[in-house]
Every structure is written in structure tokens, then in C-alpha cells.
Structure 1
Amino acid sequence: MRKTFILSIAILFLAGCKVPELLGLKEMPITQVALQKEKALSKMEVMPVTQVVEKMEEREKLYSLSANDMELRKILFMFAEELPEYNVVIDPDVSGRVTVDLKKLSLDNVLTILLEPLGLEYVLEDDILRISKPRMVTRIFEFVYSTTNRIAATSLVAMTGGGGEISGGEGSGNSSTSFGSVSTEEEIDVWGEFESGIGSLLSEEGKLSISKRIGRISVTDYRSNMKEIASFIDTFKVSSQLITSS
């Protein structure tokens, strides 16, 4: 009985050693596994720094352009070939001559340099790039202010005093001190300031319409002025909120 038990253990041990072979598997030494990992890592592609920069430039879409006293329309048509993603529309009244040597600039910078000196502008909407003389546009803004006017209060405190005099070696004299205060209040028209600020930024052809009841402001002007007007309105909103909260 004991011999049978020992024989069974030996058979199981031998069978366990042969399990990988019976299943068709090959045992791989640890050193061989490490070598294969190193080979796999060495095959990973490492991108050179110059190639990374080139790919960044592709994403930023930088352009180069050189022209010597050329017609602007001709330059724009040639440049349009570099913009396959846009439909370029050039108005009939676009004209002028240009001399430039531009290297690796953004589309906005290239067009600004070409058009601004000639009093022209471009508008990019979706996939349409339109080049024309400046046009008037209308934008609607909202400005809600609960109080029509605000009160600015100031106060002034004054103090006056007198001194004594000394004669004949004996001290004698008198002194007096008095206090006084003055308070003033100034009523400031918020909407008046708002309208005056926008009016100072409008061009001669610009128009402004304000509906105080619903806080609606309609501004019509050139695009270049509209950027400054929008910035002023945003700043004025913040300052008016601070005044209201205080």
C-alpha cells in the first residue's frame, strides 16, 4: 500500500513537469523575455525635434509670400491656391499694388499686412474668405442696469488752530481749535456715461440706438471700430456691477 502511494506521487510529479509540453506550450527563460521587451521598445519610433516643429507649423498653417510691386488681385489669386480649404471671394473694387517679403506668418497676419495699408479688410465666415472694402455691420448688445443714476458722496474735514504770544519773560496767550466738515453728493447718469463712451468710439458713419427699458443696445459701424466698442461695453458692465454691489 505504501509503495503504491509513493508511486502515485512520483507519477503526478512527472506529469506536472510535462504539462506545458502536453499542452503544446514552450517555457521561455526570463532573460529571453527581457530581451524581447528591449527589442520591442527599440522599435518604437522616436520623432526628431525638427520634425515635431514642422508638424506644429503644419497645424498652425504658416504662410510665406514674396512680391515686388505686384497687383494685389494677382497676389490674392496666387495666394488662394495655398488655401484649398477656403472659397476665396474678391470684390471688384479691390485694387492696389504691393511689395512684401513675408515668411512663416499666420493667415491673419498675412492678410492684415496685405490689405490694411490699402484700406481693405477680409471677413472669414465658415469656409468663405471675402476680401473687400470696409463694410458697416450691426451688432446687438445687452446691458441691464437697475438704477438709472448713482450717487457719489464726498466729505471734507478741516481743522483750524491759534497760538499764543510771550512777552516780558512771562508767558501769556491763548489758543483755540475748531473743526468743520463739508459733505457733497453728486448724481451721476450711468446711461449717459454709457452712451457717451460708445459715441466717442463710433466713426462718422456709425450709429447707436439704446433701449434703456429692456437694456438693448444696437451699434452699426465698421468692423475695426466694433472690436473697440465691444471691449468698452464689456469693461463698463464689470465696473457697473462693482458699483451696484458696493
Structure 2
Amino acid sequence: MPPEAPDPELTTIRRAWPLAARNCLLDSPEARLRLAATASMAATLVHEVNQPLAAATNYLSACARRLRALGAGHEDLLAMLDHAGQETLKAGELIRRTRNFVINGRISGRRENLRTIVERAILMIGERRDRVGITTEVPLGLFVKVDRIQLEQLLFNLLLNACEALAGRADGWIEIGAEAAADGAVLLSVTDNGPGLNAVALARLADPPGGPGAGLGLAIAAAVAEAHGSRLEVENPAEGGARFTVALAAAT
């Protein structure tokens, strides 16, 4: 199969492996071997998982064609099959782009609507969103240059972290906000009214995935932020809770 032509709308945003500068990753032969093994496993995973995903997509398409051949009256089933096909395609894209991110830390950014990304990330946390109050203060016309899938993963991890912090609270809330900064960037924030982060939790942001005491979700979010040329800022606001903020490149 010939290689795909590069998409002119895509822009490589960042450098090589974003966590490579952290001494704890590459301070021993064992750590370097583990990193190489992770990259190899990512490549294998893409190859092995994409085959059944492609097969599932083909089966769904075949079912849709047979239903359409039967005539009218199956619109609901066809809609479900179409949605299922779109989800399998999305899964394949997610796996391929995550593989590229794991291997070389590079992401490809394009102009994306930030409000749409936020809404998709909220859907990703499933029924957890019904246990807390989630509000969004993200303008509809705000566009950023990002890797959509990776940013959705960043938000998913931050929302999941907030939901876990609010577990058992009847008055728990999460606010997702975005605003333009003076330097032209867009500041995206996730704030909750949980107990805040203690020193141990804050230190986990410096741990590589799988490192001692690692908070894997926060480590992934931090890595995605770095790959976008930013960093994940964390604070405990004076009024309580925790706030995570990342600066994104604005797109006109």
C-alpha cells in the first residue's frame, strides 16, 4: 500500500519524546530498555488491534448494505450501524496516533473547535458525569491548534481525576473554562471543589508513567501538555479544590 500523502493542514507541534528530559526516565540502562520495549509494544499493538477493527468495520458496512437493500423501515438500525462504524474508525485512529505519540512524542495539530473537544471529553467519562455537576465556560467560537484526540485524552484524565476526588460528595462540581491570554494563547482550565492536591499528589506530576508512586492519568496529561509545547499547571485555589491549566496555541 503506498504511503499516505501528508495532510497540508497538519503541523508538527513538538519535539521528540516529551518526557525524555526527565532524568528519572533515562538515568539507567534498565530505564532505557523499558522505554524501547514500550515503543515496540506500541507498534505491535497497532498492528494486532487494527486488523480486528478493520474486520469489524467491514462487517458493519456489509450489514448496513443488506439492510438498505431490504428497503425502508430500518432507519434506526442503519443509524446505529453507522455510528458503530464511525466508532471503530475512531478507535483505529486513536491507536495509530497514540502509537506515534509513544514512539517519538510528536503530535500533529490542526485547527479545532475547543468547545467541541470539551463536550466530547465529557461524554468519554460516561455515567460519572451524572454524579457531579459539570459546567463549561468555553466560547463556541474558540479555535485552537491541537491534536484533537490527544487533547481529548488530556481532558478525560483530568475529568476522571476530578471525579475520583469528588467521590461520595453530594455537592461536587467541576468547571471547565477557557479564555484568551495576553500572549495570544488560549488557557484551558479544569477546576473542582474537592479536597485539593497534597504534596505527594503534586509530586506525581514529575513521575514518568509507571514510576514510583505514579499517578498515571496526571502523568499522561502532563506529557500531552508538553507535546503541545506547554505544561500542565496545578494549583489549589484559595477557595478550595484543585485547578489544572494548560496553555494552547490559538488558531484563527
Q: TM-score range by the shorter chain?
A: under 0.3
Higher Cα radius of gyration: 1
Structure with greater contact order relative to length (CA < 8 Å, sep ≥ 6): 2
Please identify which structure carries the higher helix content.
Answer: 2
| TM-score where L is the length of structure 1 | 0.25
| Greater strand fraction, Structure 1 or Structure 2 | 1
